[in-house]
Structure 1
Amino acid sequence: MKINWGTAIVIAFVGFISFIMYFVINMSTNDKYNHDLVTDDYYQQELKYQEDIDKVENAKKLSENISWKKTEEGIVLNFPQDLSIKDIKGKVFLYRPSNKQLDFEIPISLSNHNLLIPDNRLLDGRWNITIDWSYKTDEFMYKNEFNY
């Protein structure tokens, strides 16, 4: 059977389109490929983004901002020493970019100016930390990323 060049071009196009459609269907139906947004409530968080910018700017105005260090027990967060610990409220959110199931949140409850994030909650790899906290009526936010 002899195929002319016009028929060969049509066969090539059909083969190429079939190849592309196979990958599109495979990528959209296979659970191995996760296409989630970074967070579930992405659009609501986008609307309050200016508030977060203001909180970060407030934190920069403090005489001493939050610092952290890695210890054998985990991560120790150090809050400013000049603030009264009974007036510090908020939450610490740890976000793992590679796995949404590892994300967790800890409420801030201080007995001294330090807060320990236990080692058993942290796996090796990259983490993003967001500390959304308030002191009396002022609101602050600390953001950082680290490798554990």
Structure 2
Amino acid sequence: MKFNWGTGIVIAFVGFISFIMYFVINMNTNKDLDHDLVTEDYYKQELEFQNDIDKEKNAKALAENINWKKTEDGIIIVFPESLEVNSITGKVFLYRPSNKQFDFETDISLSSHNLLIPDKRLLDGRWNIKVDWQYNGKSYLYKKEIVY
């Protein structure tokens, strides 16, 4: 068989396509390179985005907003002292960007102005915390990126 320019170009195309296909298949099947979506119901949350903006505006209008602090026991979410504890309801959602298996949600039930998220549920690294809470019929939202 005679090797000429046409044969070389065909071999180069086949080699290049094989190279690209190897990486496409490898990226789709390798679990180490798996990246999760932020949320499965993205479009539903997009429709509720204006509500979140209004809730954040309500939270910024408070004299004192929610704070958090890291302790040996975990993360303590501190609610404003001026509010009555029994009237605060809502949910706390912790989102782990690197792995959705570690995401969790907990209800707010307070006996003091502090809510403890135990250390056993938290891995070192970045977390996005979202506190969606209500007080006397008004909704508030607190979002923060934290490194634990």
TM-score bucket (shorter structure):
over 0.9
Give the superposition deviation at 1:4: 1.0
Which residue in the other structure is 2:50 paired with? 50
How far 1:36 moved relative to its partner?
Answer: 3.2
Moved over 2 A (4+): 25-33
Q: Work out whether residues 132 and 140 of structure 2, in 8 Å CA contact, stay in contact via their aligned partners in 1.
A: yes
* Residue matched to 1:104: 104
| TM norm structure 1 | 0.94
Q: Counterparts of 1:111 and 1:50 in 2: how far apart (Å)?
A: 31
Map of 1:3 onto structure 2: 3
Q: What's the counterpart of residue 59 of structure 2?
A: 59
Which residue number corresponds to residue 69 of structure 2? Answer: 69
Corresponding pairs, count? 148
8 A contact 2:36–2:100 mirrored in 1: no
State the alpha-carbon separation in 1 of the partners of residues 76 and 30 from structure 2: 40
Unaligned runs of 5+ in 2: none
What letter matches 1:90 in structure 2? G
- Kindly provide the amino acid, as one letter, of the partner of residue 3 in structure 2: I
Q: Give how far 1:35 is off.
A: 4.5
CA separation in 2, counterparts of 1:87 and 1:16?
65
1:111 deviates by 0.5
What is the CA–CA distance in structure 2 between the aligned matches of 1:70 and 1:28, rounded to whole Å? 38
Q: What is the DSSP-based 3-state SS (H/G/I as helix, E as strand, rest coil) of the residue aligned with 2:34?
A: coil
User: 1: distance between equivalents of 2:89 and 2:16?
Assistant: 59
Shift of 1:37: 1.6
Shift of 1:2: 3.5
Letter in 1 for 2:139: E
Whole-Å Cα distance in 2 between the matches of residues 22 and 107 of structure 1? 46
Cα distance, 1:8 vs structure 2: 0.4
Q: How does 1:1-148 map to 2 (within 5 A)?
A: 1-148=1-148
Where does structure 1 lack aligned partners over 5 or more consecutive residues? none
Alignment CA distance shift 1:69-1:33 (3 Å): same
- Structure 2-normalised TM-score? 0.94
